[in-house]
Structure 1
Amino acid sequence: MPIKEGFIQVTGGKVWYQIHDQQTNNAPVLILHGGPGSSHWSLQGLQELANTRPVILYDQLGCGHSDRPNDKSLWNLDRFIEEVRHLKEGLGLTEFHILGHSWGTTLAAAYYLKYPQGVQSIIFSSPCLSAPIWAEDQQRNLQKLPLEVQHTIRECEVNGNTDSEAYKKATKIFNDNFVCKLPESDRPAFLKEGAKFRNSEVYNIMWGASEFHVAGNLKDFDCTKELHKIDVPTLYTCGRFDEATPESTEYFSNLTSNSKLHIFENSAHMPYIEEPEVYLEVMRKFLS
């Protein structure tokens, strides 16, 4: 399919984008990846949606193929909202759809609530729309793990040993249960390659040292009282075993009048990797 790549100037540097277009003449879907400080890399399979409408993948500033400025003041939600606006204007988008995953749903909601013009629909994939609710959910998820894993995680965090091997092993057990349930041998090769595109500084400043305790500048983010303002068609999805829990995802959906909910029964936080064919089918149905 025709692919277009380039860079757009935003506050702090340039961000890389890639457009997949099968000439459908439909308004494109803009993909907002997770993190903060991750990249489009794990979401590259979403280019397959281009047979429904053009797909715009991009790396947020600080990660992936985009610039990595050495300015900690850039890592805040307001600047990322403006980044999306700059991307929209730079690409000349008048109408478009948004698909956000994880932190990308935080950004999608915050962007829409400030700049709703032109947004035709929103997909909140494994949503994080309230940092306090997310933190509460992770404490409940931790309680589902073996006691020794819980103890290791809590002890390392209290003592500031989150760089230790013990903490990394315990975190991997959490991730294997609530982030991606596929065995290592069944995960696509490109998934491991994505590590080099991340920026841990962005993650640490905005979120914190771990998924479990929100200590960064997003710790008070909560847009649940504004979800009723979203009046475009909206789809909420998550995995049955997702760290973005089905209970919270359903709660967010119930606060949004024109919304639908889909749970991927065999997935955790990465259904686009764990159940790719089903995920793409659900996305295509909604986007068409």
Structure 2
Amino acid sequence: MKDVKEGFIPVAGGKVWYRITGTGPGIPLLLLHGGPGMKSSDSDPLQQLGAERPIIQYDQLGCGKSERPEDRSLWTVDRYVEELGQVIQALGLEEVHLLGHSWGTMLAASYLFTKPGGVRSVVFSGPALDAQRWERDQRAYLKQFPSQVRQTIEEHESQGTTDSEDYQEAMMAYYKTHMCRVDPWPNELSEDLEQLNPEVYNHMWGASEFTVTGTLKQFDATGRLTEIGIPALFTCGRYDEATPEATEHYASLVPDAEFHVFENSSHMPSIEEPEAYVETVREWVNRQEMKRGA
């Protein structure tokens, strides 16, 4: 698509890279990528909506094309919330729709708890709004795998050898069931995972999806979800790490929230069911604007 603008924004701790796709007349949609430590997707299918509204992506500090300072004190939810506000201000977004994926839902919720103005709606895609529940859900999934996979993961985690080849192979079996079920994986997904900043991921989350040892260990937004006073859509895949049961529970805590399951997806419906994913988001943001005559 034409009409792509890229640049850098100074934020607390460094500079972050951003990209705006499209110049459509609708209210911009700002995407908060997963991780922590991951990056924006260069081929995110939501960019297709650029003819209808600007689609804004940015790599959080320490990730992707943004600067990667080594100061661990920067890897906090509060600083990432501050960063999000600085991105919105720098881009002059008086009104915006937010879409967070995975860790991006933690960031979206935490930002909304500060009661910012101008956010018209929010999409929680594959939500991770309770770190302890996420860990329990992954361990419940793990019990469904062959004993060899379970033992390999448990042994290497207990020994602190999660960089071993055996561990990586066992994790890939898990990821191909609950992260992305497209086989083979698209090259971009593999490359994005290779570019993950382990310093940020390990500091904030931990060694793996199954064991939360980082600063997000006690993260739990469920007690405050009733405070979200804007239209909210919760989505997940049928086989998602963010289980349908957990996602529906989070939706039940937000007044008038909606809930949608992508039946043929796990944690990456943007890759697994891109057409359905784009259409669901398109219909959602358009409907929110029609309600209030955007």
- The two structures have a TM-score, normalised by structure 1, of 0.96
Mapped partners of 2:42, 2:207: distance in 1: 21
- Supply the distance in 2 between the matched residues of 1:51 and 1:23 (Cα, whole angstroms): 5
1:79 corresponds in structure 2 to 79
**Which residue in the other structure is 2:4 paired with?**
3
Whole-Å Cα distance in 1 between the matches of residues 222 and 24 of structure 2? 37
Name structure 2 gaps, 5 residues minimum: 287-294
Contact preservation (8 Å) 2:24, 2:52: no
Task: Decide which of 256, 259, 268 is 1:258's aligned counterpart.
Answer: 256
**After TM superposition, which residue ranges in structure 1, 4 or more long, deviate above 3 angstroms?**
none
Structure-1 separation of matches of 2:279 and 2:163: 39
Q: How does 1:48-87 map to 2 (within 5 A)?
A: 48-87=48-87
User: For residues 179-194 of structure 1, what are the structure 2 equivalents within 5 Å?
Assistant: 179-184=179-184, 187-194=185-192
Aligned length: 285
- Give distance in 1, aligned partners of 2:97 and 2:88: 11
Give the AA of the match of 2:284.
F
Give CA deviations for 1:7-66 in whole Å, capped at 9, x if unaligned: 110011000111112332x21011000000000026622211223321101100011110
SS of the aligned residue for 1:89 comes to: helix
Measure the CA separation in 1 of the matches of 2:178 and 2:42. 16
**Which stretch of the first structure deviates more once superposed, 44-53 or 27-36?**
44-53
- The residue that corresponds to 2:271 in the other structure is 273
Matching residue of 1:13:
14
SS in structure 2 of the partner of residue 124 of structure 1: strand
Q: CA deviation at 1:94?
A: 1.1
CA distance, structure 2, for counterparts of residue 254 and residue 33 of structure 1: 24
Corresponding letter in the other structure for 1:221: F
- Distance apart, 1:144 and its partner CA: 1.2
RMSD: 1.2
What does residue 111 of structure 2 align with?
111
CA distance in 1, matches of 2:64, 2:14: 13
Q: Indicate the larger mover: 130-139 or 111-120.
A: 111-120
**Does structure 2 retain, via aligned residues, the 8 Å contact 1:42–1:191?**
no
Whole-Å separation in 1 of the counterparts to 2:129 and 2:77: 13
CA distance in 2, matches of 1:42, 1:164: 29
How many angstroms apart in 1 are the aligned matches of 2:155 and 2:99? 37
Which secondary structure does the structure 1 equivalent of 2:64 belong to? coil
Deviations 1:245-279 (A, max 9, x none): 00000000011112111100000000000000111
Q: State, as a whole percentage, how many aligned pairs show the same letter.
A: 50
Contact 1:43 1:272 in 2 (8 A): no
Normalising by the residue count of structure 2, what TM-score does the alignment of the two structures yield?
0.94
